[in-house]
Structure 1
Amino acid sequence: MDTGTLLSFLALDLMLVCVPGADWAYAISAGLRGRSVAPAVGGLVAGYALHTVLAAAGLAVLVAGSPVLLTALTVAGAGYLVWLGWSVLRRPGTPGADRDAPREGAGRAFRRGAVISGLNPKGLLLYLSVLPQFLVTGDGAHLPVAAQTVVMGLAHMACCAAVYLTVGVAARAVLGARPAAARAVVRTSGAAMLGIGALLLVQRLALL
C-alpha cells in the first residue's frame, strides 16, 4: 500500500465520517450529558475496531453474505438505537446536571458508544463497499490484504476519534451555558437516533 492510496482513502473516509448520523447524535448527547465526551467517543471507536477485526479476518464478508446474520445485526443495532433515542427523549437533562449519576459514568458511556458503532450496519457496509476499493492485490501489493485492512481500519478509527471528539466538545462549549438550547439539541439527537433506528428496522424488514 502506497502513501497516495492511503491518503485517497483518508480523504473519502473523512467525508463519510463528517456526514451526521447516529454516531454524531450520540457524541453530541454524550458531550452535553456526561462528564466527558472522551469515553463515549472511545466506545464508538472501539466498535469500529470490532469491524476492523471482522474485516481483516474475512468475517465481514461472511456476515454480509448471510441474510439471517445481517438481518439479526441490523435489527439488534436498530433496536438499540430506538431504545437509546427514546431514553434520551424522556430524560434530556441539562449540561452537567447528571454529572454524578452512575448512568452517566465513563464506563456506561463507553459501552453505549461501542454498542452503537459495533452494531451499526452502515459501519459493516463501509468496510465491505468502500475499503475494498483501496486494497492492492497481486504483484503490486507490499502488504497482505489483511494488513492493509487493518491499516485502513486504524485510519478510519483515527478519523472517527478526531471528528466525534470535535463534535462533542464543540456542542458542550457552545451550548454548555444555554440549558434550554442544550436540551433542544439533546432531544434532537435523541430523535435522530430513534429515527435512524426505526428507518433501519423498516428497511431491513421490508427485505424479508
Structure 2
Amino acid sequence: MLVTDSLLAYTLAATLLALTPGLDTALILRTATAEGGRKAFHAALGIDVGCFIWGALVAFGLGALLAVSELAYTLLKWCGATYLFWLGIQLLLRPRQQFNLRLENTNPASNWFLRGMLGNVLNPKMGVFYVSFLPQFIPTGHSPIGWTFLLVAIHVLIGTLWSLALITATHYASGVLKKPVVVKWMDRATGCLFLAFATKLAMSRR
C-alpha cells in the first residue's frame, strides 16, 4: 500500500470509528452536560494521553516483534483478523437499540483528565484494537514505530475534534445519539468496516 493510500484509508476509517458512540463519547457528553465544557475538554485530553500511552506500548513492542519474527507476524495477523471479524459480526447481528449516556459513580470532584486517561489505559481492548488495526496501514518498508505514532496522532486529532464538536453541541448531540435508528446505523456501518479490514488483514502478506 502506498503512503498516500495508507493515510487516506486510515483517516477515513479513524473518522468513522471516532464518530461511533462508545465509552469515550459517553464520558464527554456526560461531563459536558453535568460539569461544563471545560471539564469535558480535560476528559478529552486525558483520553488522548491514554491513546498515546497505548500507542507507545504497541509501537515499541510491535516494531521489535515484527522485525525479527515471521511467526509472530503471522500469529498477530490471524489473531487481529479474527478479532476484527468477531467485532464486525457482533455489531452487524446485534446492534445496540440505545446509547446509554449515564455513567456510574460520578463524583463532582473527580479529576476528569485522570478519569479520561485511565478509562483508556485500563481498557485492554484499546491495546488489542491498536495491535490488530494499525498494522494494516503501515506501508511496506516503513518503520512500524514511526508509523504507529503517526497513526495514533491522526486518531487523536480526529477524536479531539469530535470531542470539541460534542462539547459545543452537547444537547443536540446527546439527543441524536439517543435515537435507536442512529445507534443501529452507526453500529452496522462500523461492523461492515471491521469485516472489510478483517478480510484485508487475513489476505495480507509481509
Structure 1 vs Structure 2 CA RMSD = 3.0
Unmatched 5+ stretches in structure 2:
66-71, 77-101, 179-206
CA distance in 1, matches of 2:9, 2:173: 33
Query: 1:2: how far off?
Result: 1.7
Partner of 1:196: none
Instruction: Pick the aligned partner of 1:51 from 44, 54, 69.
Output: 54
CA distance in 2, matches of 1:39, 1:122: 22
Partner of 1:117: 120
Moved over 6 A (4+): 59-62
Partner of 1:155: 154
Partner of 2:89: none
2:28–2:167 contact (8 Å) kept in structure 1: yes
CA distance in 2, matches of 1:155, 1:120: 20
TM-score by length of 2: 0.59
Seq. identity, % = 25
Q: Superposition pairs for residues 124-163 of structure 1, below 5 Å?
A: 124-138=127-141, 141=142, 144-163=143-162
Query: 1:120: how far off?
Result: 2.2
1:13–1:156 contact (8 Å) kept in structure 2: yes
Query: 1:47: how far off?
Result: 0.6
TM-score by length of 1: 0.58
- What is the count of residue pairs matched by the alignment? 139
Query: 1:164: how far off?
Result: 1.9
Query: 1:173: how far off?
Result: 7.0
Distance 1:86 1:174, change over 3 A: closer
Query: 1:172: how far off?
Result: 5.2
Q: 1:85 is aligned with what amino acid?
A: L
Asked if residue 87 in structure 1 is aligned to residue 87 in structure 2, the reply is no
Unmatched 5+ stretches in structure 1:
66-83, 92-100, 176-180, 186-208
Q: 2:130 is aligned with what amino acid?
A: Y
CA distance in 2, matches of 1:47, 1:27: 15
Q: Does the residue aligned with 2:104 lie in a helix, a strand or coil?
A: helix
Distance 1:133 1:56, change over 3 A: same
Q: Does the residue aligned with 1:86 lie in a helix, a strand or coil?
A: coil
CA distance in 2, matches of 1:114, 1:172: 24
Q: 1:110 is aligned with what amino acid?
A: F
Q: 2:103 is aligned with what amino acid?
A: G
Q: Superposition pairs for residues 1-208 of structure 1, below 5 Å?
A: 2-35=3-36, 36=38, 37-58=40-61, 85-88=103-106, 103-104=109-110, 108-138=111-141, 141=142, 144-171=143-170
